[in-house]
Structure 1
Amino acid sequence: MPGLKPPPIGSAIPQVQTYVLDEARQPVAPGTAGELYIGGVGVGRGYLNRPNITAERFLPDPFAADETARMYKSGDRVRDRGDGILEFLGRADHQVKIRGFRVELFEIEALLNQHSTVQEGIVLAPEDALGNKRLVAYVLPNDPQTATDNDWIAALKSHLQTQLPSYMVPAQFCVLESLPLTPSGKVDRKALPALDDLGSAPLAPEDQPQTTLEKQVAKIWSQVLGIPTIGLYDDFFELGGSSLLAAQLVSLIAEDLNIELPIRCVYESPTVATLAQTVEILRQAGGNAFSVLTDLTTQAIPQPPSITARQQTQTAPASPEAVFLTGATGFLGAFLLHELLQQTQAQVFCLVRADNRQEAFARLQDTFTKYGLPVANLTGRAVPVPGNLNQLRLGLSKIQFARLADQVDVIYHSGAMVNFVKPYSALEAENVLGTREVLKLAGQGKLKPMNYISTVGVFGAIAYFTGQSMVYEDDDLDLSRDFLCWDDGYAQSKWVTEKMLLAAKAQGLPITVFRPGFIAGNSHTGATNLRDFLSRSLLGCIQLGAYPDLANFKNQVVTVDYASQAILHISQQPESVGGTFHITPWSPARDFAWNNLFAWAQDYGYTLQRLPYRRWKEQLSEHCRHAQDNVLYPLLPFLNETIYEQKLTVLELYENTADFDCSNAIAALKGSGIQCPVVDRQMLFTYLDAFVHQQQLPQSPPLSLSA
């Protein structure tokens, strides 16, 4: 249950070893969750007459001196407190990932069983035919008469919604007359009805789709979600929809209804009723997507909060004692945290989406482990702050928020939802309004400098629309206002946020803005964010065996170690406060073009065909229609949608990319010894080596670097 301390289960007895390992069966740092493996004299030979499960559970022990030793895979998730005592976190097979979030099924079951009308409830996460997991609650009611009562199911769902985040609320509720039991009297989870066998309660007349179009949309939803009955006002995402399923939905709508529906419409119109209305609007507009775009010329810019701080002037503190950091479990944020721990003596308060401090600290440890950063450095100085950017006061109580506002000397706001598929409306709460809550923190208690991590994307495809070939750090944001409607919701959310920050600066808040380009892996270790656009593009094209010919598409790529070091150093210079800095290559010649990336991958040994963009996206779509394991699959709508004049995709708009001057950044770094590494052929080989080591790519014998 959220907020409850995990129970301790003790430590190993003499001559028995316990290992807490990750999914690759490598040891995790103390405090980090992992699966418990047991070695030593207590390990038996296996299960009697059960060779298959014996092979799964009794494994060679790579940590023992005896090469014949074996260890037992317990299936229990535990965490070493740091003193050798293990805490039990649940069964490994009862933790699942839903929409990218880790979910403990027992937490949901415990809350479900607290409801007075529930005799017993079980929650599973079965996979549908397409491999998508969905939460299903199997409920045995106290009163059998409630079995077909929609109001009762709605009450159960409401009970869970008040105490759990949306991704932990089951998409379906299956009411049973009895629960199947094992011979020992426990619930036989494997015998519960499969997804295909689940029925649905009948819909009330007012909830039934009425028009032909509503019925067509509901039928497509049913096909995508695997739910036989869809109500007119059911929410796509509450029923288990995800970004992957949204991509399938728009694909089927295109096939069945002959309308190219932008994927953002699924987020903005998430019910059958509203989505059918949007489809009709697009039909009336002749399929012109402009009728549903986010127009920044009319978009309201939130007013920044009032400054209530005691001091009205503040420069960058030379030696901060307390730092507040958001986004520490992200890629750049993790390296910023690493630099703060290396270069300062400050306590770093890290806002982490979690239910409690233990879980938040474990997430920080997991992130450092993933990127090869020293986990031990977190202990003592990295202070986890469980919260959420999209909540009032960042999810903190008034007392917690006020205490932080008094204690913190400087803020680094790196947290954001980075998503090229979701529309502005789906990102506003976290990226825009979340920043407004951070501004409250900056302007309360003692006035403190705020360092905001933005993106060069706020200028959109400026070269295409205006012909401007160089963007300077002090250029007016309004240069891109009229055409950013054609861009992705992420860039729009950052533009709106920067406009809000300009107003906050005018009120007297000391705000420094950093605009990175694409951020590549660590130049020394190759540690990379596998989920960002650049990594997905490289991996996905290698999977496909082809890449799009975008000869003039530049990437503005810098390494993550340079970006984090540069941001920290610049932010510590008093004369930098209030400025804007591009964290981009130091000259156009030091950036690389899109096609170089794949030419170097071919040099490494992979076979890749260069195709015109249209042919490439058709080949990718066809490939994903049969195999959805390509890492570019979630980005198909972003890559496919022709948004400008119904003929150009976002990437095609960006093909003639502007360069970004970074004179302010270079001047601020003078004398620091910090250099911006060039991402070249040799460095790409470092990244590809890391991908192969992490089994993200098949081994391919590299050619000589001198070839």
Structure 2
Amino acid sequence: MKSLFITGATGFLGGAVLARALSDTSIESILLLVRANSPKEGVERIRNNLAKFGCSETLLTKINERNILLGDLAYSEDFLNDDRLSGVTHVINSAAVASFGDNALIWKVNVEGTLKFVKRMADVAGLVRFVHVGTAMSCVPEAGTLVTESMTRKPEVEHLVQYTWSKSTIEQLMIEQCPQLPLVIAHPSIVVGHSEEGCRPSSSIFWVFRMALMLGKFMCSLEDKIDVIPVDYCAEALLLLTKSAVLSETVYHISAGDTGSTQFIEIDKAMAAALNQQPVSSHYQQVDYSELVKGRREFKTIYGPCNERLMLRAMRLYGEFSMLNVRFSNKKLLDLGMSPPPRFVDYINRCVEITRDFSIPELMKVDFK
């Protein structure tokens, strides 16, 4: 791989991709899109993020100002004329506003800015592969199903959050407006923690499991399954999709699949063991959202100082996701030679260790920015 361009390297998934790419001797050069006031500040941001992934000092020093392209997808026109983009051969586009909140930048970054960037890269003569990171949830899957890869687009009203709608929209626009782009779309399932570093890189989504189990009731059944993968596994799969000489498909799930998905009752037992507590399964209640609303006055007692309305909004959003009992087929990825991912319960103790001293309101800020 001659020249790899990564967007989103100061974030959770992009940081994991870069951490793995730095040890890949087949990559000759790496260029990184970074929001910063100077290349020096950009290097500092990248190194600080890489440290969360357990990168050695030797790997950290591989990043210098020559690796930095200053820019922001919200204002992509400001960096698209940089000559270095014309020498890029491979792209992993992981930058996005991944908030489940009402963030005004979701559409500006995930759709408008990304499309301008994609059009610029589609004109690069030597571009071999453009891997765009979407989300498996963008297909709005039917509850209780094993979902195979699809580009079927559901209307906006069927999406639970604007984030998944924005990811679905940009995929259609890329295909329609840039047919010459050597595009591969990666659809990760639910990315939680790191198989070695736990939640050190990010507490994203992990807090939801703790929140529900602390409450002792939620909208899902403990027998339901959830498709979870660690971020380092997702990064490894993205690099495989980027490097593979021939790919027969446009869309690939990066997921735990049917056999690797985890029941909530397994998560409860693993979480309890890590916290040295009793599982809540003996007294757990599956309830409607209306029951959660009725109990909102208990939130401050259970979770400490918190915004009741924001807690309820989080419970409703993630509660509806948890009820889906959806698994995403990973057969196409495994057929490329990718190994199955670690199961969530196999590294959940590392996630607990990192987050045990933080409250739920503190942890959830990363997903409601």
- 1:386-436 CA-to-partner distances (Å, cap 9, x unmatched) read 21111132x3273x2xx022221111100101111226x641101111211
The answer to whether residue 81 in structure 2 is matched with residue 417 in structure 1 is no
Return 5+ residue gaps in structure 2 as ranges.
361-369
Taking the TM superposition and a 5 Å limit, the aligned residue runs for 1:92-103 are none
**Alpha-carbon shift at residue 679 of structure 1 (Å):** 2.1
CA contact (8 A) 2:80 2:120 kept: no
CA contact (8 A) 2:254 2:333 kept: yes
The answer to whether residue 107 in structure 2 is matched with residue 428 in structure 1 is yes
Q: Which structure would you say has the larger Rg?
A: 1
One-letter amino acid of the counterpart of residue 687, structure 1: C
Which residue among 5, 22, 33 is the counterpart of 1:341?
22
The answer to whether residue 291 in structure 2 is matched with residue 623 in structure 1 is no
**Alpha-carbon shift at residue 618 of structure 1 (Å):** 4.0
Note closer, same or farther for the CA distance 1:559–1:332 as it changes in structure 2 (3 Å cut): same
Mapped to 2, the partners of 1:512 and 1:348 lie a distance apart of 19
Which residue among 610, 614, 622 is the counterpart of 2:284?
610
**Alpha-carbon shift at residue 330 of structure 1 (Å):** 1.1
Partner of 2:79: 396
Note closer, same or farther for the CA distance 1:637–1:408 as it changes in structure 2 (3 Å cut): same
One-letter amino acid of the counterpart of residue 619, structure 1: G
Which residue among 351, 361, 365 is the counterpart of 1:687?
351
Identity %: 17
Mapped to 1, the partners of 2:296 and 2:6 lie a distance apart of 39
Note closer, same or farther for the CA distance 1:483–1:463 as it changes in structure 2 (3 Å cut): farther
Which residue among 442, 463, 469 is the counterpart of 2:121?
442
Structure 2 length normalisation: TM-score? 0.83
Partner of 1:217: none
Mapped to 2, the partners of 1:526 and 1:487 lie a distance apart of 28
The answer to whether residue 213 in structure 2 is matched with residue 573 in structure 1 is no
The answer to whether residue 250 in structure 2 is matched with residue 601 in structure 1 is no
Which residue among 325, 332, 342 is the counterpart of 1:657?
325
CA contact (8 A) 1:520 1:559 kept: yes
Mapped to 2, the partners of 1:488 and 1:697 lie a distance apart of 25
CA contact (8 A) 2:12 2:202 kept: no
CA contact (8 A) 2:226 2:322 kept: no
Note closer, same or farther for the CA distance 1:589–1:638 as it changes in structure 2 (3 Å cut): same
User: What's the C-alpha RMSD, in Å, of the aligned pairs?
Assistant: 3.0
Mapped to 2, the partners of 1:594 and 1:518 lie a distance apart of 14
- 1:599-625 CA-to-partner distances (Å, cap 9, x unmatched) read 322233236462333334543564249
Note closer, same or farther for the CA distance 1:463–1:397 as it changes in structure 2 (3 Å cut): closer
CA contact (8 A) 1:520 1:560 kept: yes
Mapped to 2, the partners of 1:528 and 1:555 lie a distance apart of 22
Return 5+ residue gaps in structure 1 as ranges.
1-318, 641-648, 699-707
One-letter amino acid of the counterpart of residue 74, structure 2: N
Partner of 2:216: 546
Structure 1 length normalisation: TM-score? 0.45
Which residue among 180, 183, 207 is the counterpart of 1:508?
180
- 1:353-394 CA-to-partner distances (Å, cap 9, x unmatched) read 11111111111111112232224313345612221111132x
Partner of 1:562: 233
Partner of 2:152: 477
One-letter amino acid of the counterpart of residue 431, structure 1: N
- For these two proteins, the number of residue pairs brought into alignment is 349
Task: Flag the structure with more relative contact order, 1 or 2, with Cα contacts below 8 A and sequence separation at least 6.
Answer: 2
- Matched residue SS, 1:349: strand
**Alpha-carbon shift at residue 656 of structure 1 (Å):** 3.2
Mapped to 2, the partners of 1:575 and 1:547 lie a distance apart of 47
Note closer, same or farther for the CA distance 1:653–1:388 as it changes in structure 2 (3 Å cut): closer
Note closer, same or farther for the CA distance 1:580–1:484 as it changes in structure 2 (3 Å cut): farther
One-letter amino acid of the counterpart of residue 512, structure 1: V
